[in-house]
């Protein structure tokens, strides 16, 4: 078991390293010179441009730049922003709590709505609650966040005036963004859990449980749900990626602080070290969460525990 966990951690490290190399290469290949956004080519002399290129190290061949970048990464140096020479890592760390709060609140929304509706709709198949659940599922996965976010803003902030339209201070500013983002996850989870519950309910052992004289409630919540959750847990791991990607849009729409906002701004300004840094940071978060999910799997499903 311990060996398996160490093995997983090692592959996780490989994934992080691989993904950041990939991002570095893609950014390198993108058209557009970062120097152009710092120095206006119509005014700067070619000597100035060349010296800035040299200063930034972008005149070096790809492999040298890559080695340089990773060498610094190992020392915890994410590089400096091109725009204001601020170090990237402290900036990410200072903004991350806001994103974490958003992601956590959204995850709570997604899991509560998703699991609850998923289970209820499977138990009361083809009843009104099932119809509602299916509609929530459909809306959740098909409404883009920038659209549903604006819709919520219009209704609850502008017309009703219950909640603030923007900012990231206090819980009130968190409500609408986390519902917007959480609905997406809820949509996926409702469908997933409904399907896997319906599958489990048809398993032979459910008949055994009924023949033992157990109540429907303990059959559904103690036995069927635990079996149905097994595939859903993987899904929750992947939702974290969904949340991080969603944060870019949500933080912009609701004018919140956070790493999503940082990367959105950095992309606009071609501030490559910042883009690179946020992606690297997100990759670490994503991979760690999925590592935790994999390990928690073995607590839910004894068959996995034996196999590892």
Which positions lie near another protein, rule CB under 8 A? 203-205, 207-216, 223, 226-227, 230, 300-303, 306
Minimum CB distance to another protein, residue 62 (Å): 38
Nearer to another protein, 94 or 218 (CB): 218
Nearer to another protein, 36 or 218 (CB): 218
Nearer to another protein, 158 or 307 (CB): 307
Q: How far apart, in whole angstroms, are the C-alpha atoms of residue 298 and residue 270?
A: 43
Nearer to another protein, 63 or 217 (CB): 217
Minimum CB distance to another protein, residue 231 (Å): 13
Minimum CB distance to another protein, residue 303 (Å): 5
Minimum CB distance to another protein, residue 8 (Å): 15
Nearer to another protein, 159 or 212 (CB): 212
Minimum CB distance to another protein, residue 226 (Å): 5
């Amino acid at each position: 078991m311990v060996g398996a966990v160490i093995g997983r951690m090692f592959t996780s490290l490989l994934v992080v390293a691989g993904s950041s190399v990939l991002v570095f290469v893609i950014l390198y290949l993108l058209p557009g010179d970062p120097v152009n956004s710092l120095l206006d080519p119509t005014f700067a002399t070619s000597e100035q441009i060349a010296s800035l290129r040299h200063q930034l190290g972008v005149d070096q061949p790809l492999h040298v730049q890559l080695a340089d970048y990773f060498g610094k990464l190992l020392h915890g140096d994410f590089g400096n922003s091109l725009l204001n020479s601020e170090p990237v890592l402290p900036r990410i760390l200072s903004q991350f709590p806001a994103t974490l709060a958003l992601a956590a609140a959204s995850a709570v929304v997604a899991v509560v709505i998703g699991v609850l509706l998923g289970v209820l709709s499977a138990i009361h198949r083809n009843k009104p609650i099932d119809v509602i659940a299916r509609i929530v599922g459909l809306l959740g996965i098909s409404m883009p966040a920038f659209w549903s976010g604006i819709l919520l803003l219009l209704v609850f902030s502008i017309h009703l005036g219950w909640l603030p339209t923007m900012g990231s201070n206090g819980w009130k500013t968190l409500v609408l963004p986390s519902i917007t983002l959480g609905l997406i996850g809820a949509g996926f989870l409702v469908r997933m859990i409904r399907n896997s519950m319906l599958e489990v309910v048809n398993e032979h052992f459910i008949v055994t449980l009924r023949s033992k004289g157990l109540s429907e409630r303990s059959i559904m919540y103690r036995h069927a749900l635990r079996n149905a959750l097994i595939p859903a847990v993987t899904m929750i791991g992947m939702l974290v990626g969904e949340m991080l990607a969603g944060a870019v849009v949500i933080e912009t729409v609701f004018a919140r602080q956070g790493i999503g906002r940082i990367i959105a701004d950095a992309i606009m300004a071609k501030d490559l070290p910042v883009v690179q840094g946020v992606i690297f940071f997100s990759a670490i978060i994503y991979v760690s969460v999925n590592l935790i999910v994999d390990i928690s799997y073995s607590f839910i499903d004894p068959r996995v525990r034996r196999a590892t």
